[in-house]
Amino acid sequence: MTSKTSSVPYTSLPSHPDSYPQNVIVLSYYHRPPNHILRRCLLFTTAILLLSAAAYLLYPSDPAIQLSRIKLNHIRVNSSPELTLDVSFSLTIKVENRDFFSLDYDSLVVSVGYRGRELGFVNSKGGKIRARRSSYVDARLDLNGLEVIKDVFYLIQDLARGVIIFDTDTQVKGDLGLLLFKIPINVSHFFLILISSSCCFSK
């Protein structure tokens, strides 16, 4: 028998380890960003934050108006020669300046109504409110000879219960002073008032 020698497709390992094939991986060196770029980013972020804070603090906001006190001095129903109403109020209005600059208001107008119909108004003189401060304005409103024919049923009903529902609309006109600039304002607030009344009738 003749034996056939098969050829092996493998190469033998080299006798010296130094001759092994080697794979080399090359890593790129990490470069840190220069310091001046970091400083620019930090300065830009700081500037944005400062501008946002300045805009928030300097942006003008409307003054807060609150009816601090209203006192019904008297109410009188006149039945002759026709049905009319005499009412007297004492009002105290609180005007709060929430800005970081002064408020110069030219006038403060308070109108009083009953069931959606204006009875009358009072106009007080102007004044000045310093930054982040409040001011109280007193006013007296006398309404005489008001015709209440349309509302007589509701008025008698309210008088019988001892509570009269009035509504007031308070309006402030003036200027906000920011450095050398004047910013005009015109603010209006609406309130509903429940007043316990003691009235007297006259003929």
Pairing status of strand 64-78 against strand 84-96: antiparallel
Structural domain spans, the chain: 21-58, 64-202
- In this model, does residue 128 exceed pLDDT 60? yes
Query: Which pLDDT belongs to residue 134?
Result: 92
Tokens representing residue 152 in the block: 């007589």
- In this model, does residue 32 exceed pLDDT 60? yes
Do 102 and 126 contact (CB within 8 A), yes or no? no
Query: Which pLDDT belongs to residue 201?
Result: 44
Mean pLDDT of all residues belonging to the chain = 77
Region 64-202: CATH code: 2.60.40.10
Please give the angle made by the CA atoms of 10, 15 and 18, to the nearest 5 degrees.
105
Do 92 and 138 contact (CB within 8 A), yes or no? yes
Query: Which pLDDT belongs to residue 28?
Result: 63
Residue 63 neighbours by CB under 8 Å, 6+ apart: 95, 96, 97, 98, 103, 105, 129, 172, 185, 187
For 118-140, b/e burial (b = at least 16 CB within 10 A) is ebebbebeeeebeeeeebebebe
Query: Which pLDDT belongs to residue 34?
Result: 67
Query: Which pLDDT belongs to residue 202?
Result: 45
Query: Which pLDDT belongs to residue 203?
Result: 44
